[in-house]
Chains A and B, each alone.
Chain A
Amino acid sequence: MYGYILRRLLLAIPVLVGVSILVFSIVRFIPGDPARIVAGVHASQEYVERVRAELLLDEPIHLQYYVYMSNLLQGDMGRSSFTRRPVTEELFERFPNTLILTVAAMGIATIFGMGAGIISATRRYSLFDNFTMLFALAGIAIPVFWLGLMFQLLFSVQLGWLPSSGMETWKNLVMPAMTLGLATTALIARITRSSMLDVLGQDYINTARSKGLVERVVVYKHALKNALIPVVTVMGLQFGTLLGGAVLTETVFTWPGIGRLLVDSILTRDYAVVQGAVLLLALLFVLINLLVDIIYALLDPRISYGTQEVD
């Protein structure tokens, strides 16, 4: 098991190095002078030259990458050309907001998705089951940004129940989290249902029933635990979708997170911030996947043994 975890950790290193190379390349691929691009359109010539010297932009590319990585490892991602503040400061100010939104969306998706999936599986072909399956189909086809606007129309404009933007109270979190979590809720409901149906058809469930166990115990104690493995897989996969979706959701609800910062920075050509935001989101995604891989191996020991055999 420890060998497996160590191998997963080691495998993440080249991925992270690759991600850093890609992010480092962004400003170098954009047509124009990289020093001007990093310094900003309105920066003085003096500042542009300072950036050029700091980033060794006249030196060979490998030296430039070396400086980029050295700065990065010391927590220096440069300065925003828009606010002139350090990029790390901007990112860490916004990061908790994105984390709150993503975790809340995943929480909603887990509770409602799993709940609906379990009820659907135990009441197959009922009205509830049909409705859940219809919702599961529609949920993944709804554009997240459109859903956000529809929620704003309904809950803010028509009913006046919830604020349409900002993040002053917990009420501000409800709509963005529902918006971001809907597609994942739909997917989790679908996977939980089919996984539960698979497990409920197994011999050991029939045995449990024939022993006279109460149906609730059969479903929640015997079936659910085994049905959870594919659900955890999907949840891991969905974190990426949620982080990507956060870019759109944060824009709809003017939620001050990393996603909105990224879009604003692209539109204002603040490339130092763009690089930082992309790197942070990718890093987060890699780490979450690493964590889920490890949790998955802990839940199902066959994974790590299987990998060892293959290796």
Chain B
Amino acid sequence: MILMNNKTDQISQLQTPKSDSEIRQVWRHLRRNRMAMIGLLILVLFLIVSIFAPMLTQYDPIKLNLINALQAPTSEHIMGTDWQGRDVLTRILYGGRISLAIGFITVVIGLAVGIPVGTISGYYGGKFDLFVQRIIDILIAFPGILLAIVVVTVLGVGVEQVMIAVGISTIPIYTRLVRGSVLSVKEEGYITAAKSLGIGDARIIIRHILPNCLGPIIVMSTFRIATSILWAAGLGFLGLGAQPPDPEWGAMLSNGRVYMRTLPHLVIFPGLAIFFMVLGFNLLGDGLRDALDPRSRKYG
């Protein structure tokens, strides 16, 4: 499966800034990248409105208000109301919390398993590595969102289940990425020097190898958050993710579909929210990848 590993392999070769001046250099490069800054701005905006949602709106995202049901956008309800009279903008603001939480928690699940397994696999190699690689091959054999669907089938529906399901589907990607990074870092001269000084494996891994794998991990995480948000919204849309009355964007889209012909705002706005959040992470990820790639930094 050469091709399936291609993107992961490319990211695993990125460098990690080792000193303050290198971090500053990466930041300078990132700051000059207009698209990455737009991405960062989008994400900061989403973060602010999600955190301060209760202060930004007077409406409740869950409480029914049937008298106001199915209103087109007005000055009072900028994005209209849904079939239960709830303000769509309010639900989108609160929905940002769910999407961001899903994005970050799935990545944490992926990292929590991917880092130790990938590190041991890459550092020690041997039979454990061979065994892990075969397991990863099996998990990667499920196309796109399918592995998450399989896990949801077993766990049942709901936001927490989606986080676990999407998180599990992220594990093989991180394991492979970390293994690749460890493989390239462990060949560096300073690792050989540390070994010849008699420093133990655990210390070498924690103090010298993992900090040098951070660059690829950060870049991959930025992209994976975007993918996790998309997948979780997809599961919500299919009825396999967040359940009513959770204001999750995918589920909002799915519920708004019934009224799409007469009240298109019910599907337009939640979709735009997903799009911009995913775009923000992708733009930032692209920028970080360029900033951490010494070849592009040199010419940038």
Chain B contacts for A282, CB-based, 8 A: 141-143, 146
Flag the segment in B17-25, B48-56, B147-155, B193-201 that touches A. B147-155
Docked complex Cα distance between A233 and B239 (Å): 33
Q: Is B67 an interface residue (CB 8 A)?
A: no
The number of residues on chain A lying at the interface, defined by a beta carbon within 8 Å of a beta carbon of chain B, is 55
**Cβ proximity bits B135-148 to A, threshold 8 Å, 1 near / 0 not:** 10110011111100
**At the interface with chain B, which of A51-59, A212-220, A240-248?**
A240-248
* A75–B180 CA distance with the chains assembled, in angstroms: 39
Q: In the complex, what distance in Å separates the CA atom of A30 from the CA atom of B152?
A: 10
Cross-chain contact B3 with A26 (CB below 8 angstroms):
no
Q: Within residues 67 to 96 of chain B, which ones have a CB less than 8 A from any CB in chain A?
A: none
In the assembly, what is the distance between CA of A245 and CA of B144, in Å?
Answer: 7
Interface contact B138-A292, CB-CB below 8 Å = no
Interface of A is mostly: helix
Given A145-B234, A152-B260, A244-B145, verify A237-B7 contact (CB < 8 Å).
Answer: yes
Contact in complex: A243, B144 (CB < 8 Å):
yes
Contacts of A144 in B (CB 8 A): 234
In the bound complex, residues from chain B placing their C-beta under 8 Å from that of A140 are 282
A293, B3: Cβ atoms closer than 8 Å: yes
- Indicate if the CB atoms of B2 and A143 lie closer than 8 Å: no
Instruction: A239 to B141: give the CA distance in the assembly, Å.
Output: 12
Chain B residues 222 to 281 lying within 8 A of chain A, measured CB to CB, are: 226, 230, 233-234, 237-240, 250, 253, 257, 260-261, 264, 267-268, 270-271, 274-276, 278-279
Q: Report the separation of the CA atoms of residues A19 and B7 in the bound assembly, to the nearest whole angstrom.
A: 23
Chain A residues 99-146 with CB under 8 Å of chain B are: 137-138, 140-146
Min CB distance B279 to A, Å, is: 4
Does B1 sit within 8 A of A, measured CB to CB? yes
* B204 neighbours in A (Cβ, 8 Å): none
Given A18-B135, A251-B237, 4 new contacts (CB under 8 A): A22-B150, A30-B154, A141-B276, A240-B144
**A interface list, Cβ under 8 A from B:** 11, 14-16, 18-19, 21-23, 26, 29-30, 137-138, 140-146, 149-150, 152-153, 157, 233, 236-237, 239-245, 247-248, 251, 262-263, 266-267, 271, 274, 278, 281-282, 285-286, 289, 292-293, 296, 303
